[in-house]
Chains A and B, each alone.
Chain A
Amino acid sequence: MKPATAPVPDVATSMPEGLKPFVLLEGAVTPASLDDQVLKFPAQRPPRAWYVAIAFTLSLLAIGLVSIGYTLYYGIGMWGNNRPVAWGFGIINFVFWVGIGHAGTLISAILFLFRARWRNAIARFSEAMTIFAVMCAAIFPVLHTGRPWFGYWLFPYPNERALWVNFRSPLVWDVFAVSTYFSVSLMFWYLGLVPDFASLRDRTEEGWRKRIYTVLSLGWRGATSHWLHYDKAYLLLAGLATGLVISVHSVVSFDFAVSLVPGWHMTIFPPYFVAGAIFAGFAMVVMALVVVRKTMNLSNLITDDHLDVMNRLILAMSCIMGYAYFMEGGTAWYSANPYIQHTFKNYVTGFYGWAGITTITCNIIIPQLFWFRRVRRSIPAMIFIAVAVTLGMWMERFVIIIISLHQDYLPSSWHNYIPTKIDFGVLVGSFGLFFTLVLLFARVMPVIATSEMKASLPGAQAHHGGTTL
């Protein structure tokens, strides 16, 4: 049989409908037009809708600050935590927000490693969302310590108490993981912004704005000898951030999985949590991007195909979550352990059964609509599904934490958990903080990484750089 040698003469060259490449740019986009379209926002006043939006988010934030104030003044007794459910909304919200952050790193780091070009238009925004989400997440473990003003005790430093932190505890691993994740994401995000700050610097007239951009851009001048090291650093950071994404949420899952609480000590927790985090984060990114591209007129840069691909990823994650739920339930039966089986029954029946049903519906059933191309490209549908996923993923943490804890080994300790108004207040406040920061970011900084996008515009490189999608 003759092996194929170059050039291959009789290869099918027609491209059928189902294989056409994605449309990632609409219309003629040049580096100059990109700058004008994206970098004009930091210089001009935002539309009225922005003020309305930030007024709303600030009011949510205010509710949060009042609730946090109550918590600090009167103590954790203001929350619903009690025996046996000693971890309540505090930890649910922490895991929820850290999870939201992971999608941003996945888009900017992991997709960079895979050379997926469709990530360029959305990477900057997602990275910003990561940082804000981690900031929201960090509030909760600090508050739930009860004496948050001693929060620095969480870090190992030589102290007059002659104490070291307990390195054998996953709570300490969490401290390292989340603080590393925050600082690395911050650096990754900032380094990506440096060339864009240089563009802003050179577009702005003399004044205090120009001086701020000058300082923030560190004197960047686009020298090729600099780009060489910059690109290497970016690649390394992407690889390292990828490792971080997996490890941070795995460490968060270890908080639960190393214990003996029935329903928590399941070995699949690490990848299951990571998949869930990416799942929830993508839903949040889709929600935010739908709003951003509409209000900032960026639909030619963040196209319907971008949303289509992200919705496919949401669908894929939903299927992985389905596998995980199936494995959890199946192994609970297979284990022949009555305590685990009792807990799993409680996930879908009993006092909190509605939470388990909601979780399965919102996480597994509703996203299956994304099999249909029309649904993937319909803005109302994807907003509905993204909201359902966000709700479902918050519920999933509720199910795991509250239901497992409220009825474990000793029936005499069984007791229901009722969250308080303050619990809800802090949760609402965290959403307020997140969206306030997102709105401020969109107002002040370039939401699209113009320098990254310029490198992949048609005609930007000497020979066509092929990538997936």
Chain B
Amino acid sequence: MSAPVSRSTFARNTLVAMTAIGAAGAVAVYMNEGPARFWANWLVWTLMLLTLGLGNLFLVALERLVGAHWSVPMRRVPERIAALIPLAIVLLLIGYLSLPVLFPWTRPEAAHNPILVAKAPWLNTTFFAIRLVACAVLWLLFYFFYVRGSLRQDASKDPAFTVKARRLAPPFMVTFFFTLTIVAFDWISSLEPEWYSDMFGVYLFAGTFLSGIAAMAIGVLALLRQGRLRDVGSQHYYNLGTLGLAFTVFYAYIGFAQYMLIWYADLPEEIVWFKHRLEGGWQSVALLLPIFHFAIPFFLLLGGSPKKRPWVLRIAALSILFGHFVDIYWLIIPTISPTPLLGWPELVMACLFVGLGFLQIRRAMNRGADMPIGDPLLVKGLEWQL
């Protein structure tokens, strides 16, 4: 370890302190500001951590699916960030308690609303719980398979795992898409249950994949700065910049398409969702999205060659992650407040979850070698040239 011991302990202590303050503050939020604000922030951060974890697991499986070589030397980074998944699952299961607070279809008045009655076969607490548990189980199974399997391969050097990993990639993709769609519909879209948009699963996927790439890029660059990942060069993470550019454009395309189609037809049951998010001060928050989730990363990754200047990739990735957080915040908080909420409750809840998230990643960072040294494709990956 090239980093001095005192620095890492300092970091760890800061994170623990942050988490403790956050936890205490969270209780205060619940008591003073009410359960709605507490649970809404809980949901926002849980989904942030979940999408970051799932996005990185997706990157791991995607590499297997297409047989890419360039990403193999860096693959340990997303495998470690995927450790957010078990943490997020726990938080999500606790989040089940928020159902009566945040979700109108759980309340007794829903029985008088004919639209919610019609949706009741899907939107009822039992089926919701079954879906939640099923998703959690599937995610954990794939997480342990891919990540633990890769760590075990470090020692065993058995190429059979790589073959198995490739074979399981398509079922993972199918599972991933359906479970992520369920998250989008269950946890975000059903906050306003009369609204519907069949693109919504794709929308969440775009943000998830993009922030997965961003987190991976930051992880790779951070390790390189520390002197680890010595043989990984700019030709390896150049493709992260290209993928980042492509999916920045993809996210903007999906987001714009969904908005423009609903704006154009102006149907009452659809436009109301956007009304809540573009009025009363929310339009300023919405404006942050095209700036941080599109324009800044787009122009940075288009022009500045990340090969020569890794700081370009780093800033673009940070902008994307900030934009992703704003996105989830903008999707959820308008259901409890007609104006944007930004105060000490948001700050302490952020402390809690950021602390938890970073602590979890730190634990994972010490598992296994920094590169998947058991993978038979590693050599080809290291030799890879543009």
- A residues near B (Cβ < 8 Å) are 1-8, 10-19, 113, 115, 242-243, 246-247, 250, 254, 257-260, 265-271, 319, 323, 327-328, 330-331, 333-337, 463-466, 468-469
Contact = CB atoms under 8 A, between A and B. Distances in A.
Interface string B346-386: 00000000000000000000111111011111111011111
Given A12-B376, A333-B122, A468-B70, 5 more contacts: A8-B378, A8-B379, A13-B379, A271-B202, A466-B385
A327 B201 contact: yes
Contacts of A16: 159-160, 162-163, 376
Contact of A468 (B1, B69, B166, B262): B69
Contacts of B181: 327
B66 A468 contact: yes
A438 B370 CA distance: 52
Interface in B81-131: 114-115, 118-119, 122
Given A19-B159, A259-B265, A323-B177, A464 B385 contact: yes
Interface string B265-292: 1010100000000000000000000000
Given A5-B230, A270-B257, A327-B201, A12 B374 contact: yes
Contacts of A466: 69-70, 380, 383-385
Given A258-B264, A335-B196, A12 B159 contact: yes
Contacts of B249: 243
Nearest to A243: B249
Contacts, number: 152
Contacts of A6: 230-231
B157 to A, nearest CB: 4
Interface string B179-203: 0010001000000000011111110
Interface in B209-263: 228-231, 242, 246, 249-250, 253-254, 257-258, 260-262
Contacts of A8: 231, 371, 373, 378-379, 382
The 3 residue pairs across chains A and B that have the minimum distance between CB atoms: A331-B198, A267-B199, A336-B118
Contact of A15 (B196, B202, B250, B376): B376
B386 A115 contact: yes
B177, B185, B198, B250, most chain A CB atoms within 10 A: B198
Contacts of B174: 319
B133 interface: no
A266 B200 CA distance: 11
A19 B163 contact: yes
A87 B384 CA distance: 52
A270 B262 CA distance: 13
B34 interface: no
Contact of B376 (A4, A13, A246, A337): A13
A247 to B, nearest CB: 8
Contact of A257 (B114, B202, B261): B261
B167 interface: yes
B198 A12 contact: no
A469 B379 CA distance: 15
B369 A1 contact: yes
B162 A19 contact: yes
A11 B378 contact: yes
Contacts of B160: 16
B67 interface: yes
A11 B159 contact: no
Contacts of B269: 337
A336 B121 CA distance: 11
B90 to A, nearest CB: 25
Nearest to B173: A319
B123 to A, nearest CB: 9
A19 B376 contact: yes
Contacts of B246: 113, 242
Contact of A250 (B70, B122, B173, B257): B257
Contacts of B230: 4-6
A271 B67 contact: no
Contacts of A328: 198
